[in-house]
Structure 1
């Protein structure tokens, strides 16, 4: 298939989707009822479903979930056109213009040496466009805290505020660990200042996220993989206990550990 015929098929498919969206908005009681606000939580759910498919490296599911998210984009644009605020063409053209502006090394005469320079230019141009008084002003308030920490650190790095070497970052992790231990030492039988310990624990997490970023680990992805691993092993434990005619609440820790260790090899 030639590049031209491939692009034509893509355009035809997109046109078909827009036509179906028009028909659904006119004829389907559920689709007619939807608003930008009512779609919001559904869009968030679809985004997490795409995230699951990506973590599973399931290309077929990724394809399906991308379709669901594309439907939402077209749906929002349809509502926007009804309100005479925007339509899908203005959404796409606005995106194209932004991409051109933020890639001056492709569409202008700016020279860059590497990926890091591209990211720094992007953040500087974005800051200027949005008119934010703070580099961190573009971080969404509703982001989950772990992801927000990573974005805060990335944006600070974009203007040169960052550690120079990963060894320095690890030193900070160890420093925060000691400070947290001083506030919450399990070996000491004393009353814990919960607010202060919470603050120190937050500092420790922030430093660990910083170190993960420095060694090119996505902390959100890493934690989610550990979550999935724990779920798999715990469900194996539950099934093994049930197959043995036992209930978890009636088993000792040593009995559960036996099944848990078996799960590690599954």
Structure 2
């Protein structure tokens, strides 16, 4: 395994070599590579969602390459290298799992989650960092993930809805406010603010229903794509270009696509 890792580190060093490397790799920076890192993480999640383990193997390799890329750039600046990254995560995992690597004990996974966050809080305090219960929530997260984490953190100190019904009521309230702003001809900032409130409550609704918001949205995206592609197929079979049809006619194809799915599931 170490030989394979060393090979990968050598490949990245060669790619970044100013004299003999790849021009594209040489000119990259932390900022330009960051979007690719995020994209590769989503590709890993997509492979898992599809249950494609051959693809998952490849996507994990792509994600590992991103870690090696960032570490190489840091090494070139004399900041740290890949081995420092590995040592750092090893130290952190041992430190935050005293019930595994020490004498502490936890009752279950939920208790471990609470303990994990407490370890993180103490570490931040030890560094003199932000002591807010909301501290440490990354701003590089997808916004729905950040919303979930903000809500979870606030809930730990009791700032949370007592059940799902008040969340549903709040969702209706926020939708009504959007409607009022639209009717009043509100500007983009006002609409962005009110629609943002709707989305934040939707994340809260998913959390209270114990549904992963990202998984639910992925399912909705897949469903829409599947049905829309079937609409195109049905229209083509009728010798019709979907784009030339009125909305009512397009809706008819949508209904046919839905009906086909329903009949297959019965």
Q: TM-score, normalised by structure 1?
A: 0.82
Aligned to 1:17: 8
Q: What is the SS of the residue equivalent to 1:76? A: helix
CA distance in structure 2 between the partners assigned to 1:170 and 1:259 by the alignment: 36
Per-residue CA deviation, residues 109-151 of structure 1 (Å, 9 max, x unaligned), is 3221111111111111112212322121211224332121111
| Higher mean C-alpha deviation, range 71-80 or range 33-42 | 33-42
CA distance in structure 2 between the partners assigned to 1:201 and 1:39 by the alignment: 31
Aligned pair 1:29/2:26, yes or no?
Answer: no
Offset at 1:71?
A: 0.9
CA distance in structure 2 between the partners assigned to 1:37 and 1:149 by the alignment: 24
Cα distance change, pair 79–253 in 1 and its aligned pair in 2 (3 A): closer
2:137 and 2:149 in contact (8 A); partners too: yes
Structure scoring higher RCO (CA < 8 A, sep ≥ 6) equals: 1
Aligned pair 1:156/2:154, yes or no?
Answer: yes
Aligned to 1:138: 136
Aligned to 1:215: 209
CA distance in structure 2 between the partners assigned to 1:129 and 1:18 by the alignment: 31
Aligned to 2:264: none
Offset at 1:43?
A: 1.7
Cα distance change, pair 36–20 in 1 and its aligned pair in 2 (3 A): same
Cα distance change, pair 82–253 in 1 and its aligned pair in 2 (3 A): closer
Cα distance change, pair 203–125 in 1 and its aligned pair in 2 (3 A): same
Q: How does 1:80-229 map to 2 (within 5 A)?
A: 80-130=74-124, 131-157=129-155, 159-161=156-158, 163=160, 168-180=162-174, 182-184=176-178, 191=184, 199=193, 201-229=195-223
Per-residue CA deviation, residues 157-211 of structure 1 (Å, 9 max, x unaligned), is 4x443558xxx3322223213423543559xx95365777765554443333223
Offset at 1:63?
A: 0.9
Cα distance change, pair 211–183 in 1 and its aligned pair in 2 (3 A): closer
Q: TM-score, normalised by structure 2?
A: 0.82
| Higher mean C-alpha deviation, range 106-115 or range 24-33 | 24-33
| Higher mean C-alpha deviation, range 67-76 or range 129-138 | 129-138
Q: Which runs of 5+ in 2 are unaligned?
A: 262-266
Offset at 1:253?
A: 4.1
CA distance in structure 2 between the partners assigned to 1:104 and 1:11 by the alignment: 27
CA distance in structure 2 between the partners assigned to 1:181 and 1:226 by the alignment: 20
CA distance in structure 1 between the partners assigned to 2:196 and 2:256 by the alignment: 34
